[in-house]
Structure 1
Amino acid sequence: MAEPHVLETRKALEEAIHVERSALAQDLAELSEAQWAKASLCERWTAEEVVAHLTAGASTRMWRWLLSMLAARFDPDVHNDRRLAKHRGATPEETLRRFRAVVAGPAGPTGHTAAWLGEIVVHSEDIRRPLGLVRTPPVATTTAVARFFASRDFTVPSKTAIAGLRVEATDGPFTTGSGHLLRGPTLSLVMGMAGRTAACQDLEGDGAAILRARLRSG
């Protein structure tokens, strides 16, 4: 029998991606021009640029993604900035329209569906938290992302970030590792594994200070 609060199939993960994209699109509908220009937790990008990045990820198929990485000499920052620029609109309103057009689209350029669920969960929080917007995805969603992040370094060094720590969610079934204790809401654990120092304020245990130090020195 499947554990509670776990998404196990690719279809379930894709449905969760569509839910989180739709929720973000709704939150973006009433943003002011100043809010669109506000710095996100993804430090190099504004809220609008993060949205364009998400649109790029949902619009780029695998071969296009590989060609773009090759053209960028496998520098992910160059690759991401080029794809972002292609999918950013002339105005925030146009950027939002382009994002809405891919809400129900493919998960991402590769078959790592849990990773692309992490992409929308993390980047949505990157936008929301600085703007004071609050949404907690279902625990099933954040648990799936946490398990993927803890299992490997993919687009972020998430497994490395929690090496040597005992990680426990306070709102769901996610646990992993051994060592100094790191506890907190699953969403905050996900954000910490994704390298967001701001999430550490939601975490407790000796492992919280260790994670914070790692992220600051990374």
Structure 2
Amino acid sequence: MVYRAVVVEDEETAGAAHAAYLERLGFEVVGVARSGRDAVRTLARHTDVDLVLLDLKLPDTHGLQLLAHLRVAGVDADVIAVTSVREVEAVRQAVSQGVVAYLIKPFSFAAFKTKIEQYVAYRDQLDAQPTSVAQSDVDAMLRTLRPHRSAEALPKGLSPETVGLVVRAVQDGGPLSAGEAAERVGTSRVTARRYLEHLVDTGVAERRTRHGGSGRPEIEYVWR
């Protein structure tokens, strides 16, 4: 599924960069707004937007005030704050208003990619659920948004980019053995197993024993 996004960013260069980042990650960017007023107009035209990247420092309003206005207006798109605002109170208010992630400027493309892939994994799981879910389903979806370890705290030798590839492989094609994951991601079997074991260690995947065939039982990995 292709998710649709709007970027709200008053700096023209930054807005264009964020839109390009999203497009590289498979999103359809339907608008780049440079003020709160522009954001309201853009989201009134595009009512099926999935994600808003929201700067909190806008020339005509605070981003959180804009978010409150959008919610009253019926805009239910998910929001990721992308901002230089570091105050704890701003973070608290952002979370209380339902912001699903908070990315502090300046950041690398790798950090941006990690946040967006976490969001996509969450949405993919959410959209695949039936109308009623169990507690374990809710826990699994929220773990996707807020994994136990951040990309900055990865064990030595593991990269956020490859973690994201392995996560998507397990989510989309699991259960997978290390060999099957290696084929999907384009790494060696040993490397794939390291990443799969990392997912187990962080609680987002689990090991199972695959029986059958003429050989020994094989370990496979499945998204929790």
Fold shared per TM-score above 0.5:
no
More strand by share: 2
Q: Return the structure number with greater relative CO, CA threshold 8 A, min gap 6.
A: 1
> TM class by shorter-chain length?
0.3 to 0.5
Normalising by structure 2, we get a TM-score of 0.33
Normalising by structure 1, we get a TM-score of 0.33
